[in-house]
Amino acid sequence: MTRTTRRHILPLTGASAVVTALALTMGPVAPGAAAPGGAGTDRLPSSVRADSTPPAPEPPSDNPGTTTAPVPSTPDTPTASSSSSSSQPEDTRTTAPSTATSSGSDDGGTAATAALKQQQDEAGTLAADLEDKKADVPEELVPSVDQLTDVLQAVSDTQTPPQERDGAVRSAQQVESALEVIADPGTPAAVRDRLTGLVQQVAAALSEANGAQTPQVSGTLGVVVARSASVLGVVARQDVPPDVENDLVGAADNLFSSVQEGTANEDEGTGAGGAGGQLAWHMLTATAVETGGDPNTADDKRKGIAQGAHENSRTRPGDPGAADKKRRLEQDLKAAIADQGLPDEPLGKAAEVCTNAVFESVPDTTLAEDLQNLTPDTWNSEGVQDFWKSRESENESLDVFAQLRNDKVDNTALAIKQMIPQLADSLPAKDIFSSLGVHALDCLQAAVRLDAEAGVQSGSWLSAAQQV
């Protein structure tokens, strides 16, 4: 079915607008994506879809929806599969030649350089804004604000993967809006106290995520924190029943604690797909927190998602009954998201938002393998460290941005009719709702448009779209 216009959410009282603010596309996150996400620098609640495209030659959006950091580079992560394991026949994929140039971008990397600078400037500006707000926050929050500014300064380094930087910015933006609600004299004391505790948790978890052993793990934990931080918006808006709010806050609190304690990235292979099991488990739970708090999620679906997220947050992948809990939560997510219907958007916009969300949520190792027949020779020879963002471009293509293993950020044009079917191989329909959250609908819409306009099928996405 076609989705009706999504409700616009007013910004928090006194808060400046946020890219992917309070909800947590989200492309991480969200890759993401875009997280997942997610676009632009206008500050909106994280549940609001990122539908605005920056005018050329501005750099690409910073949010797929939800969001932006990569998941662990382990091809056995349950949210993704390699192209060789596609559930669709080979003839469902386009065989058109690649539109990528052999040397990457045609502009010498100018657009990529500008995009990177804009993102770094955004992180720096946000750090300065938070520093200014220290004078207005309760004394117990000053150390938390310092933690956030330290993280933002750390991720401004050019070697930081852009997705990881996106995740830090998203979380900090949500905290920034929460701080303004806390400082508002009209905020009820109970709301102020709950927000204060959550801000402390977000800051501590993000600081721990930033210090993770590898960029891949750090980026994924950043997405978990950003999606979970959407609960700040739930508390600030006071627009859900108390029991739903309590479950969402409880789930987010457990996720933050897990990140701080270093248990979120432990290898818990049983029941969760191997070496990335615990991370994938927390990504699923964080997606549920974000979806359950999204004002566009139907009220009759919220309760089940909130309860499932809270229960999952207290469960480890290897625990008895964990597989059943995971399956129920995935089913609840699919039902709640599909209930919103496909977005009424053109192919280019749907493809952009979809790609950003996939980049946030699918391991970069999987993407590098599955997209190597599309990406430039220089990317394939050097190796891609971080598939960052995409932007709708001319000639039915996407301008795709990535960080290579030599830390260079580059961009190239890829044909939508090639890109979308390939992404459908990387992320089968059975995993799309639990991986991308609401931005799964953009991917399904892109598959429908591509089939109708070009006669190109996108694997299992098209059949899944026909069931929405």
Q: Is-contact 29 223, C-beta < 8 A?
A: yes
For the beta carbon of residue 109, count every other beta carbon within 10 angstroms.
18
Position 461 in a domain: yes
Query: 409 by DSSP, 3-state: which?
Result: strand
Nearest to 206 by CA among 149, 130, 159: 149
446 and 417 in a common domain: yes
Q: Is residue 12 in some structural domain?
A: no
pLDDT, residue 376, reads 96
Lookup result for tokens 């999987």: 366
Same domain, yes or no: 330 and 354: no
The pTM assigned to this predicted structure is 0.76
Q: What is the pLDDT of residues 207-249, one digit of tens each?
A: 999 987 788 889 999 999 999 999 999 999 999 999 999 999 9
State residue 263's pLDDT score: 72
DSSP state string for 441-455: HHHHHHHHHHHHHH-
Of 339, 362, 379, the last residue of a domain is 339
Check residues 108 and 366 and name the one with the higher pLDDT.
Answer: 366
Give how far Cα 54 sits from Cα of 68, 112, 242, 399, Å. Answer: 17, 14, 38, 12
- Do both 460 and 332 map to the same domain? no
Question: What integer pLDDT is reported at residue 97 of this predicted model?
Answer: 41
Q: How many CB atoms lie within 10 A of CB 320?
A: 8
Same domain, 115 and 145: yes
> Looking at the structure, do residues 307 and 405 belong to the same domain, yes or no?
no
Looking at the fold, whether 118 and 235 belong to one and the same domain comes out as yes
387 strand-pairing partners: 402
Place of tokens 């039902």: 335
Instruction: With both helix axes pointing from N to C terminus, report the angle between 277-293 and 242-261 in degrees, rounded to the nearest 10.
Output: 150
Three-state secondary structure call for residue 410 = strand
Quick one: 203 and 316 in the same domain?
yes
For residues 64 and 389, give the distance between their C-alpha atoms in angstroms, rounded to a whole number.
8
Backbone angles phi, psi at 102, to 5 degrees: -65, -20
**Do residues 302 and 367 both lie within one domain?**
no
Q: Does residue 177 register a pLDDT over 70?
A: yes
Q: Are residues 175 and 305 in the same domain?
A: yes
Tell me whether residue 456 is in a domain.
Answer: yes
Q: What pLDDT is recorded for position 262?
A: 80
Residue-wise pLDDT for 405-436, tens only, equals 999 999 999 999 999 999 999 999 999 999 99
Residue 69, domain member (yes or no): no
Mean pLDDT across 247-271: 79
Whether 237 and 362 map to the same domain: the answer is no
**Residue 269: inside a domain, yes or no?**
no
Question: Is residue 280 domain-shared with residue 148, that is, in the same domain?
Answer: yes
Domain hosting residue 456, numbered range: 347-466
Q: pLDDT tier at 312 (50, 70, 90 boundaries)? A: very high
Angle between helices 162-183 and 142-155 (to 10 degrees): 160
What distances in angstroms separate CA 135 from CA 18, 94, 232, one per listed residue? 21, 57, 21
Q: Which of 315, 339, 363 is the last residue of a domain?
A: 339
Total domain count for the chain? 2
Which residue, chain included where needed, has tokens 């098209």?
Answer: 462
Please state the length of the chain.
Answer: 468
Distances (CA, A) of 22 to 66, 122, 179, 426: 11, 18, 12, 29
The neighbour count for residue 148, using CB atoms within 10 Å, is 26
